[in-house]
Amino acid sequence: MDDATLRELDRKHVWHPYAPASPKALIHPVAAAEGVRLRLADGRELIDGMSSWWAVIHGHDHPRLTAAAHEQLDVMAHVMFGGLTHEPAVRLARRLAEMTGLQKVFLADSGSVAVEVAVKMAIQCTGRSRLLTVRGGYHGDTFGAMAVCDPVNGMHHLFAGALPEHVFADRPPGGYGLRPGATAEPEPADPAYLTHLDTLVARHAHELAAIIVEPVVQGAGGMRFYHPAYLRRLRELADRHGLLLIADEIATGFGRTGEMFGCDHAGVRPDIMCLGKALTGGYLTLAATLCTPEVAERVGVLMHGPTFMGNPLAAAVAGASLTLLEERPWREEVKGIESGLAEGLAAVAGAPGVREVRVLGAIGVVETERPVDVARVQDTVMEHGVWLRPFGHLIYTMPPYVTAPDDLAMITGAMAAAVATLDG
């Protein structure tokens, strides 16, 4: 199909995320993807500075992952998981248990569903149904998950009336990670915020099942990095009041923040953990909800069971992706990207229209004073050979760990060019 026909039929029939049925914004057909590059149908090549929504950590079409998919496909693509099991799922579950210290693994089919399952576990475990979370969070697009997203900027205010009402603590203060161009020291934890958490948890403990947060990095809710001391305090409070701590590691898991899991910054182990996004190296949709044996015991029969749960193809690729992660020096790679981002973005800190530049692991964020003109920023970065998807006040990148220094410099260069188009 030629580029023009593709675009036309897409516009006529295909619904895209967070978009009207026939969006005004340009949608770009991709013909192929390899390594860190997307090749558009019109022949242009773009560096995937988003790792295709943070998932493609090893790059596109990685020979090892592709081979794992082919091999599994020749054996079986799918079988139901009710009453049946298979090696790819068993191996993956054992591996995730070893990595996290959480023994029980529920394989779900997307991140949002993993969050739904975590919430069900918490409710079934405690007999209580309210959750406590912090503002500025994002946990997915299904109803249970939406209810713990930021109630104001969480993209879901339209549904407010249809959601359960949970307890929201203030947004954790930022200040963790690197702030290129800023002379200020990293900010210590704010005692007032810790007290705020103490008070709020104590006030609501009697009705709460669990505390749910994204550890250290708040992703789609605003790309903010908060002090691990807040997470440690939430762990202490959960213990003190007999609540569960749910860590949504869907964005932070598998090295993105410079540690294997976001919780590792705080030295904290949650009772329930959600994984997704990079789990299959971005190949197939798969997520997981893990918990301790104690939680599993108290849950009893977990009332959830998606049709495609434990999909062998996805589980096999996830296994290969974890092996690859184990073998590659991801820590050094992510450190290298962190320094490259800090260096490359230092120039835009203090530029007109820029509120803050921050970097943590393989995450580079330019927060702007005013909402960004998405089309204009996207045009600019594409002219510079880079694919990014800015939103709200954010122009950010989460590149694949295999991004070479030259390619990383192209990404930060494109971001700088986009900043130059901002109205001061």
Ligand X SMILES: *Cc1c(COP(=O)(O)O)cnc(C)c1O
Known catalytic residues are: 18, 138, 248, 277
Q: Which residue from 72, 100, 112, 397 is in contact with ligand X, where contact means CB under 6 A?
A: 112
Q: Strand, helix or coil at 370? A: coil
286-315: contacts with ligand X (CB under 6 A): none
Query: Interface with ligand X includes 219 (CB under 6 A)?
Result: yes
Query: Interface with ligand X includes 275 (CB under 6 A)?
Result: no
Q: Measure the CA–CA gap between 27 and 6, rounded to whole angstroms.
A: 10
Q: Measure the CA–CA gap between 162 and 97, rounded to whole angstroms.
A: 35
CB 248, min distance to ligand X, A: 5
CB 274, min distance to ligand X, A: 7
Vertex 240: Cα angle to 238 and 242 (nearest 5): 60
Q: Measure the CA–CA gap between 365 and 358, rounded to whole angstroms.
A: 5
**Residue with Cβ nearer ligand X (115 or 357):** 115
Residue 402: CB atoms within 10 A of its CB come to 19
**Residue with Cβ nearer ligand X (103 or 142):** 142
Q: Which residue from 38, 50, 210, 220 is in contact with ligand X, where contact means CB under 6 A?
A: 220
Q: Strand, helix or coil at 366? A: strand
Q: Which residue from 138, 225, 261, 387 is in contact with ligand X, where contact means CB under 6 A?
A: 138
Q: Helix crossing, 63-75 with 312-327: angle to 10°?
A: 150
**Residue with Cβ nearer ligand X (220 or 337):** 220
Query: Interface with ligand X includes 388 (CB under 6 A)?
Result: no
Q: Which residue from 59, 88, 111, 172 is in contact with ligand X, where contact means CB under 6 A?
A: 111
Q: Which residue from 110, 257, 289, 378 is in contact with ligand X, where contact means CB under 6 A?
A: 110
Which residues on neighbouring strands pair with residue 366, listed in sequence order? 357, 395
Chain center to CA of 270:
17
Q: Helix crossing, 405-420 with 374-383: angle to 10°?
A: 140
CA atoms within 13 A on the CB side of 416: 16
Query: Interface with ligand X includes 140 (CB under 6 A)?
Result: yes
Q: Measure the CA–CA gap between 142 and 159, rounded to whole angstroms.
A: 11
Q: Which residue from 86, 139, 179, 227 is in contact with ligand X, where contact means CB under 6 A?
A: 139
Which residues on neighbouring strands pair with residue 417, listed in sequence order? none
Query: Interface with ligand X includes 231 (CB under 6 A)?
Result: no
**Residue with Cβ nearer ligand X (313 or 416):** 313
Which tokens belong to 385? 């050979």
- Provide the mask over 62-101, with x wherever binding to ligand X is found by CB under 6 A and - wherever it is not: ----------------------------------------
Please name the residue ranges forming H helices in 150-305: 191-204, 228-241, 293-299
Among all residues, whose Cβ is closest to ligand X? 111
Query: Interface with ligand X includes 153 (CB under 6 A)?
Result: no
Q: Kindly determine how many residues on this chain lie close enough to bind ligand X according to the rule CB under 6 A.
A: 15
**Residue with Cβ nearer ligand X (252 or 403):** 252
* DSSP H or E segment with residue 31: strand 30-34
CB 109, min distance to ligand X, A: 9
**Residue with Cβ nearer ligand X (115 or 229):** 115
Residue 53: closest CA among 393, 387, 319, 287: 387
Name the residues that contact ligand X, by CB under 6 A: 110-112, 115, 138-140, 214, 219-220, 248, 250-251, 276-277
